[in-house]
Chains A and B, each alone.
Chain A
Amino acid sequence: MARPGKKMLNDPKKVVAEMIEGLVLANDGRIAKLPHHNAIVRTDLPDSKVALLIGGGSGHEPLFHGFVGRNMGDGAACGQVFAAPSPDIIVAAAKTVHRGKGVLFLYGNYAGDNMNFDMAAEILQEDEDIEVRTVRITDDVAAAPPERVHDRRGIAGDVYAIKVTGGAAAELDSLAEVERVARKAVANIRSMAVAVSAGSIPETGKLTFELADDEIEIGMGAHGEAGVHRQKLTTADSIADQMMDKILADLPFGRGDEVALMINNLGATTMMEMLIVNRRVRQILDREGIRVHRSDVGTWVTTQEMAGLSITLMKLDEELKHYLDLPAESLGYSRM
């Protein structure tokens, strides 16, 4: 039987190593790979700053390693496909980006990431005397009800969390202050995804979940985690309506709020569909009296060739707006 995942690969076991090699080259010297670990760091790190280390499983490009650069992450620890990076990778990356003011770990809330980053934090604090604080991103409203925020996954909200915290880590002088801004960003971000078809795992070629040809799943997670419900494929407007109902009610967002809006492609959805959904989302926001300060429509947090999209809103105050609007430079997300 042919592999369901039709991909241009060399050795499927070497996808992460070869991807990182290509990523470093695509950054034209602004980032470098650590010699013995799947981790990348900025080459232009200032001498004194609070360090921001991001990371997670590979296969979701440009997340996370595509978000290393000026006013973004200072380094990224890269796991294998859909698997958290191991503690030795995280420790090596953290030691390299540390500039004497501590390291903030910022990553999506998954059991594997939590355990591996926690083990790394223990090693750094006990053996290296490096102060580490941790903020986990929990923007997926489909993953758990609001009273169990600690059970929510990080999805496309990762991008705004990294953008804002990257700005804060460039300007603020203390780890505690950067942590405070990161927590504020995470507390104000809400997302939901819709899956149209599955992506495949590079090494095995197998699809990450089963979904009938005429079905979609509202709220599905990045690895096929079950969402809110499955239904027949319907119109873009109807899908957007259902997703926005959940997102708006969750924070909640309300009249007079100012937000950043992200429509994120899970991998294989066309820009045409994304823009059609964006149109409906803006109609809803207008109706609710919510002002959009900044729109992002594009591809940032993916699961291989998974089709579908996610909608993310971040409620802004003056401080979050300031860090969101700072210029940033990275392969995956840039802003003039």
Chain B
Amino acid sequence: MADTLDLSAATAMLKAVSQAVIDQADVLTDADLAIGDGDHGTGMRRGFEGALAALDATPPESIDAAFKTVGMAILSETGGAAGAIFGTLFRSGAKGFAGRDTIDGGSFAAFLEAGLEAVLKRGGVVEGQKTIVDALAPAARAAKAAAGTLPARAKAAADGALVGVEATKGMVATTGKARSLGERSLGHPDPGAISASIILVAMHDFIARN
């Protein structure tokens, strides 16, 4: 297990995260078909394929630049609400790594906190509306509370996100395209929250492995 990640490990982690999202695009499509229009999986795959290509084309010179590169690729290639939200998570979350040579427990928690704050502002949403925020917010809180090393914080974040995804099943969507489903959205997890959990679980897997 890695207590810190340097630039090259951080870049490798972002590539592993991208691959995890690409591999699970069909899961996201099916989740979105249940309560949305079914384009979340293809959109996320497009965005993270773009992220892989961008990381390969221009190897980033700093950790925050690497996260910004991923954010810009998602913003451009995914499009839609998911592009704006997940692009913002990486682009604004990158502030947590500004001026740092490594990802450690503290900067990892700072990444989630900065990303969450920007997503809340951009989306104009609060917790409980059945969105990505319902996975991201518990993840950010858990990472902050866990204190200590990077693996402990990454595990807390991944677990927090998974608990958050489960909780979205009991929520009625009050924003986005699922909003009009009202009660019909009950029982289904939010596709954006699932994406957030895939990203955080992949981060933890990478950190635990390396």
B43-89 residues with Cβ-Cβ distance < 8 A to A are 43, 46, 75-85, 87
B27-57 residues with Cβ-Cβ distance < 8 A to A are 29, 33, 36-39, 41-43, 46
CB distance from A55 to the nearest CB of B (A): 11
User: What are the interface flags for A149-160 relative to B under an 8 Å C-beta threshold, 1 for contact and 0 otherwise?
Assistant: 001000000000
Q: Does A102 contact B (CB under 8 A)?
A: no
User: What are the interface flags for A70-85 relative to B under an 8 Å C-beta threshold, 1 for contact and 0 otherwise?
Assistant: 0000000001111111
B181 near A226 (CB under 8 angstroms)? yes
- The one of A83, A111, A116, A119 that contacts B43, using a Cβ cutoff of 8 Å: A83
User: What are the interface flags for B80-105 relative to A under an 8 Å C-beta threshold, 1 for contact and 0 otherwise?
Assistant: 11111101000000000000000000
| Closest Cβ neighbor of A87 among chain B residues | B75
A111 near B176 (CB under 8 angstroms)? yes
- The one of B39, B85, B87, B182 that contacts A80, using a Cβ cutoff of 8 Å: B39
CB distance from A302 to the nearest CB of B (A): 14
CB distance from A19 to the nearest CB of B (A): 15
- The one of A83, A204, A226 that contacts B83, using a Cβ cutoff of 8 Å: A83
Instruction: Given A83-B79, A116-B83, answer yes or no on A204-B177 (Cβ-Cβ < 8 Å).
Output: no
The majority secondary structure among interface residues of chain B is helix
| Closest Cβ neighbor of B43 among chain A residues | A83
Q: How many A-B residue pairs have CB under 8 A?
A: 103
Instruction: Given A110-B177, A115-B122, answer yes or no on A86-B43 (Cβ-Cβ < 8 Å).
Output: no
Interface centre among A80, A85, A86 (most CB of B within 10 A): A86
A143 near B176 (CB under 8 angstroms)? no
Instruction: Given A80-B80, A116-B83, A225-B180, answer yes or no on A201-B39 (Cβ-Cβ < 8 Å).
Output: yes
Contacts of A57 in B (CB 8 A): 79-80
A206 near B33 (CB under 8 angstroms)? yes
| Closest Cβ neighbor of A85 among chain B residues | B79
Q: Does B128 contact A (CB under 8 A)?
A: no
B182 near A81 (CB under 8 angstroms)? no
- The one of A79, A87, A203, A224 that contacts B37, using a Cβ cutoff of 8 Å: A224
B80 near A143 (CB under 8 angstroms)? no
Interface size on A, residues (CB 8 A): 33
- The one of B39, B177, B179 that contacts A81, using a Cβ cutoff of 8 Å: B39
Instruction: Given A83-B43, A225-B177, answer yes or no on A112-B75 (Cβ-Cβ < 8 Å).
Output: no
User: What are the interface flags for A204-239 relative to B under an 8 Å C-beta threshold, 1 for contact and 0 otherwise?
Assistant: 101010000000000001011111000000000000
Q: Does B106 contact A (CB under 8 A)?
A: no
Contacts of A223 in B (CB 8 A): 36-37, 177
| Closest Cβ neighbor of B84 among chain A residues | A115
Contacts of A224 in B (CB 8 A): 36-37
Instruction: Given A111-B123, A225-B177, answer yes or no on A116-B42 (Cβ-Cβ < 8 Å).
Output: no
A208 near B179 (CB under 8 angstroms)? no
Please report the C-alpha to C-alpha distance between residue A75 and residue B25 in the assembled complex, in whole angstroms: 32
CB distance from A276 to the nearest CB of B (A): 28
A226 near B79 (CB under 8 angstroms)? no
Contacts of B175 in A (CB 8 A): 111
Contacts of B43 in A (CB 8 A): 80, 83
Interface centre among B29, B37, B181 (most CB of A within 10 A): B37
CB distance from A143 to the nearest CB of B (A): 6
B76 near A115 (CB under 8 angstroms)? no
Please report the C-alpha to C-alpha distance between residue A221 and residue B178 in the assembled complex, in whole angstroms: 10
CB distance from B16 to the nearest CB of A (A): 23
B46 near A80 (CB under 8 angstroms)? yes
B38 near A208 (CB under 8 angstroms)? yes
- The one of A83, A89, A143, A226 that contacts B39, using a Cβ cutoff of 8 Å: A83
CB distance from B47 to the nearest CB of A (A): 10
User: What are the interface flags for B119-134 relative to A under an 8 Å C-beta threshold, 1 for contact and 0 otherwise?
Assistant: 0001100000000000
CB distance from B24 to the nearest CB of A (A): 15
B75 near A115 (CB under 8 angstroms)? no
Instruction: Given A83-B43, A143-B180, A226-B180, answer yes or no on A112-B38 (Cβ-Cβ < 8 Å).
Output: no
A82 near B37 (CB under 8 angstroms)? yes
A88 near B76 (CB under 8 angstroms)? yes
Instruction: Given A79-B79, A111-B177, A226-B182, answer yes or no on A201-B38 (Cβ-Cβ < 8 Å).
Output: yes
Contacts of A85 in B (CB 8 A): 79
CB distance from A67 to the nearest CB of B (A): 20
| Closest Cβ neighbor of B49 among chain A residues | A13
Contacts of A204 in B (CB 8 A): 29, 38, 41-42
In the complex, the 6 A-B pairs of residues with the closest C-beta atoms, listed nearest first: A83-B80, A112-B81, A223-B37, A115-B84, A112-B80, A225-B180
A87-B75, A88-B76, A151-B179 are known contacts; what are 18 more A-B pairs with Cβ within 8 Å? A79-B80, A80-B43, A80-B46, A80-B80, A82-B37, A82-B80, A84-B79, A84-B83, A87-B84, A88-B75, A111-B123, A112-B79, A115-B122, A203-B39, A204-B29, A225-B178, A225-B180, A226-B180
Subset of 7 A-B contacts with CB under 8 Å? A83-B78, A83-B79, A84-B81, A88-B76, A111-B177, A225-B177, A225-B179
- Which B residues fall within an 8 A CB radius of A? 29, 33, 36-39, 41-43, 46, 75-85, 87, 122-123, 175-182, 184
